[in-house]
Amino acid sequence: LAKLKPAFKEGGKVTAGNASQITDGASAVLIMSEEKANELGLPIRAKFHSFALAGVDPVTMLTGPIPATQKILERSGLTLDQIDLVEINEAFASVVLAWQKELNADLSKVNVNGGAIALGHPLGASGAKLCATLLNELERTGGKYGLITMCEGGGLANATIIERV
């Protein structure tokens, strides 16, 4: 890996070894009110606790999950210590590392089954993939709160906290 050439600029740090491939994808997540789920006889697995959007300078866009996380924690009244698991979509390894450094996050809670570099970065399906992965792992481990955060491009990022029920 150390011998791979930088992908974007001479002397750069991003290589094919620390960036995910990009693939096309499509997905859907079924979201509805508790009343509608009960009416249809569907199981309720989680509820949306909080949602936030944030933007940063498009040139340094890979830092967007940092203010998105800060904003959602403030909005939700939760601390990062209260979050059981985190799924952060990292098209580049530097995204998670900058996020962890800024927020002093416990990496043992982050992308516990692998992130985008290991599992893929399907355009059009990333959000649903992160939501399904997070909810399945919360159910498996008995966790309560999960945080999803990801860059959207152009300096935008979002964050969602779900609560397992």
In order of 59, 63, 134, 151, the CA distances from 154 in angstroms are: 8, 11, 25, 8
Report pLDDT for 122.
77
pLDDT in tens, 61-103: 789 999 999 999 999 999 999 999 999 987 778 889 999 999 9
If 0-12 CB within 10 Å is exposed, 13-18 middle and 19+ buried, where does residue 98 land? middle
15-29, 102-116, 120-134, 136-150: least confidently modelled range: 15-29
Q: Which domains does the chain have, with CATH numbers?
A: 23-164 (3.40.47.10)
Please give the biggest Cα pair distance in the chain: 59
Quick check: helix, strand or coil at residue 34? helix
Report pLDDT for 28.
87
Report pLDDT for 74.
98
If 0-12 CB within 10 Å is exposed, 13-18 middle and 19+ buried, where does residue 37 land? middle
With beta carbons less than 8 A apart as the criterion, state whether 46 and 164 touch. Answer: yes
Q: What number is the average pLDDT over the span 101-114?
A: 96
Q: What number is the average pLDDT over the span 134-138?
A: 98
Report pLDDT for 13.
84
Q: What number is the average pLDDT over the span 34-47?
A: 97
Q: What is the pTM of this model?
A: 0.86
Rounded to whole angstroms, the Cα distance separating 92 from 14 reads: 7
Q: What is the DSSP letter of 92?
A: B
pLDDT tier for residue 33 given thresholds of 50, 70 and 90: very high
Report pLDDT for 142.
98
Q: What is the DSSP letter of 59?
A: G
